[in-house]
Amino acid sequence: MTQEKRKALLYAYVEVLQDLAPQGATPHPAFYALHSEIDLVSGPLYRDGHFAQAVLEASHRVIDEVKRASGISEDGGSLMNKAFGTGTQMPVIQFSCLTTEAERAEQLGVIHLFNGIAELSKSMARRNVSFDDPSRAYEYLTLVSLLMRLLEIAQINREL
């Protein structure tokens, strides 16, 4: 066979394989590696096409990690506000020195991200949410992975 025929045959095989690949096929590993804990609880679900369940399990995992790190057993916004501090309250989980306005704004931004995941989790648990888009689900998983990584580098003030 000539090189052009081989190339055309190879492309035809690739197209057939892409058509046969499961809906939740894993993205290229160089794209983004999920946090190991998120991959553990959600990776198999995502790869099997169970996108909503993968996002829900990942959300629960990050909430559980906030509870563990902070020692606070509450849920939802109450957990997040107590763990990350609001107003003049010293946070249990702290992401910067909080001495400048920019550092306090960063802490507030992080509170909003964690509150968003807590609300998403609560909303998904109350109603049957359909994620039929693997890209959208993967973006939620990357957000939760980021939050897990932020928790790893945070300062924990448990004596509060």
Best CA proximity match to 148, nearest among 28, 60, 26: 60
Q: Residues for the chain: how many in total?
A: 160
Using the predicted structure, report yes or no on whether residue 3 has a pLDDT greater than 60: yes
Q: Any alpha helices (H) in the chain, and if so which ranges? A: 3-20, 36-47, 51-70, 76-84, 101-126, 134-153
> Per-residue confidence at 155, pLDDT binned at 50, 70, 90?
very high
Rounded CA separation 132/91 (Å): 37
- Write down the mean pLDDT value for the chain: 84
Using the predicted structure, report yes or no on whether residue 26 has a pLDDT greater than 70: no
> Which of 26-35, 61-70, 116-125 comes out lowest in average pLDDT?
26-35
Tally the C-alpha atoms within 13 A of residue 159's C-alpha that lie toward its C-beta. 1
> Per-residue confidence at 4, pLDDT binned at 50, 70, 90?
confident
Using the predicted structure, report yes or no on whether residue 129 has a pLDDT greater than 70: no
Is 125 in contact with 56 (CB distance < 8 Å)? yes
The gap from C-alpha 144 to its chain's centroid, in whole angstroms, comes to 2
Residues 111-122: b if buried by 16+ CB within 10 A, e if exposed: bebbbebbebbe
- The DSSP symbol for 155 reads E
Overall pTM surpassing 0.85 (yes/no):
no
pLDDT in tens, 89-105: 889 999 988 999 999 89
